[in-house]
Amino acid sequence: MDKIDAFKQQLITGYTTIGESITLGAALFEGQAQKETQIKIPLRTLNRHGLIAGATGTGKTVTLQIIAENMCNAGIPVLLMDLKGDLSGIAKAGILNPKIEERHAAIGIDFKPNGVTTEFLTLSKEQGARLRATVSEFGPVLFSKILDLNDTQSGIVAILFKYADDKKLPLLDLKDFKQLLQYSTGDGKEEIKKEYGNITSTSTSTILRKIIELESQGAELFFGEKSFEVSDLVRTDANGKGIASVIRLSDIQDKPKLFSTFMLCLLAEVYASFPEAGDLEKPKLCIFIDEAHLIFNEASKALLDQIESIIKLIRSKGVGIYFITQNPYDVPDSVLSQLGLKVQHALRAFTEKDRKAIKKTAENYPISEFYKTDELLTSLGIGQALISALNEKGIPTPLAAVHLRAPASRIGTLTAQEITENISASKIAAKYNEVIDRESAYEILTGKIKDLEEQKETVEKPKPLKKDEKSVLEKVTENTMARQIGRTVMKEVARGLLGVLGLGGGSKKKKGWF
pLDDT at residue 117 is higher than 90: yes
User: Among the ranges 115-119, 224-228, 271-275, which has the highest mean pLDDT value?
Assistant: 115-119
210 near 148, Cβ under 8 Å?
yes
What does 131-187 look like in DSSP terms, one character per residue? P-B-HHHHHHHHHHHHHT--HHHHHHHHHHHHHHHHTT----SHHHHHHHHHHHTTT
Average pLDDT along the chain:
85
Q: How confident is the model at residue 514 (pLDDT cuts 50, 70, 90)?
A: very low
Question: What is the distance between the alpha carbons of residues 427 and 419, in angstroms, rounded to a whole number?
Answer: 14
* Neighbouring residues of 325: CB distance < 8 A, sequence distance ≥ 6: 51, 52, 53, 291, 292, 293, 331
**What are φ and ψ of residue 130, in 5° steps?**
-80, 135
Average the pLDDT over each of 85-94, 335-344, 355-364 and give the range with the smallest value. 355-364
48 near 340, Cβ under 8 Å?
yes
pLDDT at residue 492 is higher than 70: no
Summarised one tens digit per residue, pLDDT across range 405-432 is 999 999 999 999 999 999 999 999 999 9
pLDDT at residue 501 is higher than 60: no
pLDDT score of 479: 54
pLDDT score of 493: 42
Question: What is the distance between the alpha carbons of residues 497 and 484, in angstroms, rounded to a whole number?
Answer: 20
Would you tell me the crossing angle of helices 135-147 and 256-273 to the nearest 10 degrees?
130
Nearest to 29 by CA among 458, 501, 369: 369
pLDDT at residue 226 is higher than 60: yes
One-letter amino acid of 372: K
284 near 274, Cβ under 8 Å?
yes
pLDDT score of 3: 87
Summarised one tens digit per residue, pLDDT across range 154-213 is 999 999 999 999 999 999 999 999 999 999 998 889 999 999 988 989 999 999 999 999
pLDDT at residue 496 is higher than 50: no
pLDDT at residue 347 is higher than 70: yes
Mean pLDDT of 467-485: 50
pLDDT at residue 346 is higher than 70: yes
pLDDT at residue 504 is higher than 50: no
Omega prior to 84 cis, within 30 of 0: no
pLDDT score of 487: 52
**What are φ and ψ of residue 258, in 5° steps?**
-65, -40
* Neighbouring residues of 261: CB distance < 8 A, sequence distance ≥ 6: 146, 214, 219, 222
> Checking DSSP bridges between strand 319-325 and strand 285-289, what pairing results, if any?
parallel
SS3 111: coil
Alpha-helix runs per DSSP H in 274-388? 293-298, 301-314, 333-336, 352-362, 373-376
pLDDT score of 387: 96
pLDDT at residue 494 is higher than 60: no
Of residues 467 and 37, the one with the higher pLDDT is 37
pLDDT at residue 499 is higher than 60: no
pLDDT score of 477: 47
pLDDT score of 462: 57
